[in-house]
């Protein structure tokens, strides 16, 4: 195949020579691409849809204990901290104190809450393990 002054000359064998205007070839290429695109879209539209499902048991989804505390009164009852504003300030001060290692199963807010609950209510670690779900009674 060789290009000569706006024409593309192609030959499949020595006796057969085809001449195409390059703009005609471009139009043929574009129309071929459009046709292939339309065919692919029709194939996708007509293809069978398959339902997929995943089995999840309710034990797999565990909400953090801190999400059960909805009001300042709940927080005061469980941890002895009168408001979430004060609680968030305590957590912010703990963050400023230094970075903690990432080996904890609880985030910083949950660890602060656990500590205050232990101090206020003198819960055993076994009780805290039940409430926080990700903590064992040994820790």
Q: How many domains does the chain have?
A: 2
Same domain, 127 and 64: yes
HSE-up of residue 64 (Cα within 13 Å, Cβ side): 12
Same domain, 67 and 28: no
Residue 107 falls inside a structural domain: yes
Same domain, 32 and 74: no
Among 59, 68, 78, 74, which residue's Cα sits nearest to residue 116? 78
Same domain, 82 and 128: yes
Same domain, 39 and 64: no
**Residue in the structure block whose two tokens are 């005609």:** 24
Residue 80 falls inside a structural domain: yes
Same domain, 32 and 73: no
Same domain, 18 and 82: no
H helical segments located in 58-124: 72-79, 84-97, 108-121
Same domain, 118 and 77: yes
Q: What is the pLDDT along the chain (139 residues), one digit of tens a residue?
A: 444 444 444 444 444 445 555 555 555 566 788 888 888 888 777 777 777 787 767 666 667 888 889 999 999 999 999 999 999 999 999 888 766 666 777 888 988 999 999 999 988 888 888 888 776 666 5
- pLDDT the model gives residue 85: 95
Q: Which domain holds residue 119?
A: 60-132
Same domain, 33 and 93: no
- pLDDT the model gives residue 32: 81
Residue 53 falls inside a structural domain: no
Same domain, 127 and 68: yes
Query: Is 120 buried (19+), middle (13-18) or exposed (0-12) by CB count in 10 A?
Result: middle
Residue 106 falls inside a structural domain: yes
């Amino acid at each position: 195949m060789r290009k000569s002054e706006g024409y593309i000359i192609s030959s499949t064998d020595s006796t057969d020579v085809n001449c195409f205007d390059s703009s005609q070839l471009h139009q043929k290429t574009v129309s071929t691409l459009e046709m292939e695109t339309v065919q692919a879209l029709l194939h996708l539209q007509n293809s069978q849809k398959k339902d997929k499902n995943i089995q999840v048991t309710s034990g797999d989804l565990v909400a953090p204990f801190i999400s059960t505390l909805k009001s300042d009164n709940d927080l005061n009852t469980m941890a002895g901290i009168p408001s979430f504003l004060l609680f968030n300030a305590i957590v912010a001060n703990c963050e400023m104190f230094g970075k903690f290692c990432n080996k904890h199963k609880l985030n910083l807010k949950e660890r602060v809450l656990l500590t205050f609950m232990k101090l206020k209510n003198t819960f055993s670690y076994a009780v805290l393990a039940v409430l926080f779900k990700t903590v064992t009674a040994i820790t």
